[in-house]
Structure 1
Amino acid sequence: MRLSSRTVSRLAPWILTLLVVVSWEAVCRGFAIPSFLMPAPSAIWQTGLAMAAPIMEHATHTLITTLAGFAVAVIFGALLGMVVGSSPLIYKALYPMLVGFNSVPKVAFVPVLVVWFGIGTVPAILTAFLISFFPVVVNVATGLSTLEPELEDVLRSLGASRLDILKKVGLPRSMPFFFASLKVAITLAFVGSVMSETVASNVGIGYLMMSASSSMNMPLVFAGLVVIGIMGVVMYELFALLERRITGWASRGQNAAH
């Protein structure tokens, strides 16, 4: 039975994941690697089942924290991106500052946030926000700033105002850029929240991993990493689905070509 290319493309991620897990297990068993150095997938699975309740509790907190920071980043980033992308002067004036701010490692902000807001959830939310809003700003601004001048001239000649052009042409044209930024931003938001939890929190997957590493419980550390990875993949796929549903018109030509 010959599988179609569509079926193969759907099975490919699962097959590759299975191969990685099997190879990982074989290497750990074949070289007798101690679990405190590199736990085998079977040990991670067993630890995950044994610690399912606390892992879910910490994972739920991390997910809520990440989504809160991500939501603020999307709102703030979209609004700022609209302002930056709709004005060439603001684009040139503000863009270097945004690039410079994004170049600063966000872990450097965590001690400052702890001094301002204390240890807990707020620094994690703000770190998720700080690390994830930049892709939203850049993509929305790029989508608006790449509107063809000829199209703007035609719309103006038909009596359209600058606001009309922004609402009826600029924003729809920037939607593919916007949804592309969401897929990047949500993964970065997880990085930010977990990074803050490892430094300045007493709850969350980051805190759980730091506590486990201090007692050399590496299977639990890797179980936390797996949970973070699964949450990131699920959220990424969710926004990819929304992108296909809402902005499918932007890739119809590409899909037809394949």
Structure 2
Amino acid sequence: MNPSLSRYRRNLLSFFALVGFFLIWELACRALHVSDLVLPKPSQIVVVLVEKMPILWPHTLQTLMTTLAGFFLGVIAGLLLGMLIGSSKLAYDIAYPLLVGFSSIPKVAVVPIFVVWFGSGTVPAILTSMVISIFPVVVNVATGLASTEPELEDVLRVLGARKRDILWNVGLPRTLPYLFASLKIAITLAFVGTVLSETVASNKGIGNVMMIASGNFDVALVFAGLFILAVLGMALYAISSLLESRMTGWTQRKTHADM
């Protein structure tokens, strides 16, 4: 079977599974007479999205731009730290325990500190998104560099390659699959950091909209915000997957017709 046809069938099945999920949700709410204050029907959420999109759109852009800024800063910082930790045993012994300890701190406890330092608004949201994105990038990049075969490094040294040459020409290219795996995790975490900060220390963004809506018991609007976040997350995840397939296709096995 043509691989492109097999991929088309998988995408079609995913689409029908998603439609089926919302259909079951709609029918269950109607059959069980679930209150709108408990769980609004998907049709109600769609109506809210259509009616309030002129209001929601600026907040959506705010959350998206904030998340992307924090995500890119987190990726850059994570990549640099991962290269340092993965290429130096001393750096690993010193920095990795500190990084694990910092990552274990609930980010909701970090937001007030950012607010004290930088005031409420966009900056704390960007920083929260950044710090929550760093750890998966560091771990995966360091793991990718550490997985380079010692025999290969020995051969390159015999041929006259310096440690920097081995890192740029062998270590980093072999780390790309690990890096893209971490990007797909980090982009979803970045949204968590942004929305978390927006609910605490911002008057803009989807997180702020959801907080105000929950205070007004507008559950349909809360779910509309969740739906927007889910769509944004899936879109950026899909972009990361596309870039991964373009840049690391050499690491992926060919699929068989029965898969």
Report if TM-score (shorter chain) is over 0.5.
yes
How far has the Cα of 1:254 moved from its partner? 4.7
- AA paired with 1:97? L
Q: 1:23 aligns to what?
A: 24
- AA paired with 2:177? P
Q: 1:81 aligns to what?
A: 82
How far has the Cα of 1:204 moved from its partner? 0.2
Q: 1:231 aligns to what?
A: 232
Q: 2:108 aligns to what?
A: 107
SS of equivalent to 2:141: helix
Q: 1:202 aligns to what?
A: 203
User: What is the CA–CA distance in structure 2 between the aligned matches of 1:26 and 1:185, rounded to whole Å?
Assistant: 35
| Alignment deviations for residues 42-90 of structure 1 (CA, whole Å, 9 cap, x no partner) | 1111111110111111010000000000111011111111111111121
SS of equivalent to 2:110: helix
User: What is the CA–CA distance in structure 2 between the aligned matches of 1:155 and 1:119, rounded to whole Å?
Assistant: 52
Q: 1:162 aligns to what?
A: 163
User: What is the CA–CA distance in structure 2 between the aligned matches of 1:45 and 1:256, rounded to whole Å?
Assistant: 39
Q: 2:147 aligns to what?
A: 146
Q: For the aligned residues, what is the CA RMSD?
A: 1.3
TM-score relative to the length of structure 2: 0.95
- AA paired with 1:30? A
Q: 1:130 aligns to what?
A: 131
Q: 1:119 aligns to what?
A: 120
User: What is the CA–CA distance in structure 2 between the aligned matches of 1:160 and 1:139, rounded to whole Å?
Assistant: 25
| Alignment deviations for residues 25-54 of structure 1 (CA, whole Å, 9 cap, x no partner) | 111111111211110001111111110111
Q: 2:216 aligns to what?
A: 215
How far has the Cα of 1:5 moved from its partner? 4.0
- AA paired with 1:20? F
Aligned length: 254
User: What is the CA–CA distance in structure 2 between the aligned matches of 1:91 and 1:201, rounded to whole Å?
Assistant: 37
Instruction: Say if 2:68 is the partner of 1:67.
Output: yes
Q: 1:186 aligns to what?
A: 187
User: What is the CA–CA distance in structure 1 between the aligned matches of 2:220 and 2:214, rounded to whole Å?
Assistant: 9
How far has the Cα of 1:6 moved from its partner? 3.2
Instruction: Say if 2:245 is the partner of 1:248.
Output: no
User: What is the CA–CA distance in structure 1 between the aligned matches of 2:142 and 2:256, rounded to whole Å?
Assistant: 28
SS of equivalent to 1:51: helix
Q: Which runs of 5+ in 2 are unaligned?
A: none
User: What is the CA–CA distance in structure 2 between the aligned matches of 1:127 and 1:161, rounded to whole Å?
Assistant: 38
User: What is the CA–CA distance in structure 2 between the aligned matches of 1:166 and 1:61, rounded to whole Å?
Assistant: 38
Instruction: Say if 2:50 is the partner of 1:49.
Output: yes
User: What is the CA–CA distance in structure 1 between the aligned matches of 2:132 and 2:22, rounded to whole Å?
Assistant: 30
- AA paired with 1:16? A
- AA paired with 1:175? L
How far has the Cα of 1:7 moved from its partner? 3.1
User: Which deviates the most, 59-68 or 110-119?
Assistant: 110-119
How far has the Cα of 1:12 moved from its partner? 1.9
How far has the Cα of 1:96 moved from its partner? 1.3
How far has the Cα of 1:16 moved from its partner? 1.1
TM-score relative to the length of structure 1: 0.95
Q: Which runs of 5+ in 1 are unaligned?
A: none
User: What is the CA–CA distance in structure 2 between the aligned matches of 1:159 and 1:132, rounded to whole Å?
Assistant: 37
User: What is the CA–CA distance in structure 1 between the aligned matches of 2:65 and 2:146, rounded to whole Å?
Assistant: 34
- AA paired with 2:181? A
How far has the Cα of 1:145 moved from its partner? 1.0
- AA paired with 2:226? L
